[in-house]
Amino acid sequence: MAIINSQSLFKNIKILIEASREHVLQSINTALVETYYNIGKLIVEYEQQGKSRATYANKTLPSLSKKLTAIFGRGFSVDNLEYMRRFYLVYSISETVSRKLVPGLSNASKSETVSRKSSTSTFKLSWSHYIFLMRIENEQERKFYEIESINEGWSLRELKRQYDSALYERLALSRNKKKVKELSLKGQVIKSASDAIKDPYILEFLSLAEHESYSESEFETAIISKLEDFLKELGKGFLFVGRQYRITLEEDHYHIDLVFYHRILRCFILIDLKIGELKHADIGQMQMYVNYFDKEIKEATENKTIGIILCKNKKESIVKYTLPKNNNQIFTSKYKIYLPDKKELQQLMESEVEYKITLHE
């Protein structure tokens, strides 16, 4: 038997207790959310009395709230009961979730979705998460944010930030109609370089004023100071390697602004920062960086290097006529230092997705 000192004993017991408490809290949260769902179900069934729609909801909730509060205390206000009622209506049998979220579902199943009724542990987020999600009217968008919140462990604050930065619309802009629907079934699935790219990137967390004058060096420093937030904005799979990565070609030295590694795509990702308008020389320079990494840095078992030029403005014609037709390594994306107008992005997404149907299908 191995000898354990007192410090190790304390540490192991501490880890066990903390893990147990976390498990208990998760169990309590799941039970609470499921209870609220079932309360909402009972309210809806009582109000409908076999009819397709309720006719006297305003009479039901005040009386019910008064009786429940008298016995159980806080948590059963009219507003909260209305949330429970709506929770059931939004997440009832017609609502489906990706099989990825349901434990024990066979991979051999041909069905992409499964009713919430088939799993007693489907609700994996906090009640506060679901209150926020219920406000999202677009069903596909709501499902996407629910899946990503679960898979990525988003706090309520992070969920709100991703929603406010229009993550769903930004990802949808680079996808055809079929791929947009996939977002609501599986969340963001990364199989190729284009799946990991956003356009635009939202960098409001840098706290740079829209019309403020700053250099590329200052822009880079601001990103490094908020590296954790920048990694979240880049998305899943990004690992930071370094800044101002120097490469030498004969006697000339070049510096790549930011270098990352993508654990899902298994490749290096190089980012060059441009505070002005994109120029064709910028694309040529990134092509050189990518070629160098492919020949000198990456291992034979790793995939080809990806280059992203992050710029404030770009002309699509410059990109079109500089990059080869079948390009899948060099990408150009705009960045914004303020939260976007979601309505404008939604309108752009709808028109862009319809346009891309002929390009991708």
Over residues 4-53, the pLDDT tens digits come to 677 776 787 688 877 787 777 777 788 889 999 999 999 888 887 755 55
What domains can you pick out in the chain, each with its CATH number? 201-339 (3.40.1350.10)
Give one DSSP letter per residue of 304-347, joined into a string.
PPEEEEEEEE--HHHHHHHS-TT--SEEEEEEESS---HHHHHH
Cα-based distances in Å from 286 to 34, 90, 136, 255, 272: 51, 47, 39, 11, 7
Q: What is the mean pLDDT of residues 85-104?
A: 61
Q: Residue 355: its pLDDT value, please?
A: 43
Given strand 267-277, what is the order of strands in its sheet?
201-202, 330-336, 306-313, 267-277, 252-262, 238-249
Q: Residue 50: its pLDDT value, please?
A: 55
Q: Residue 58: its pLDDT value, please?
A: 63
**Tokens coding 116:** 């919430």
**Tokens coding 176:** 């055809």
Q: Residue 55: its pLDDT value, please?
A: 54
Q: What is the DSSP letter of 281?
A: H
Over residues 125-154, the pLDDT tens digits come to 999 999 999 999 999 999 999 999 999 999
Q: pTM value?
A: 0.76
Over residues 238-285, the pLDDT tens digits come to 999 999 999 999 889 999 999 999 999 999 999 999 998 899 999 999
**Residue 196: closest CA among 137, 250, 262:** 262
The amino acid at residue 352 is E
Q: What percentage of residues in the chain have a pLDDT greater than 70? A: 83
Q: Residue 15: its pLDDT value, please?
A: 82
**Residue 337: closest CA among 311, 309, 314, 308:** 311
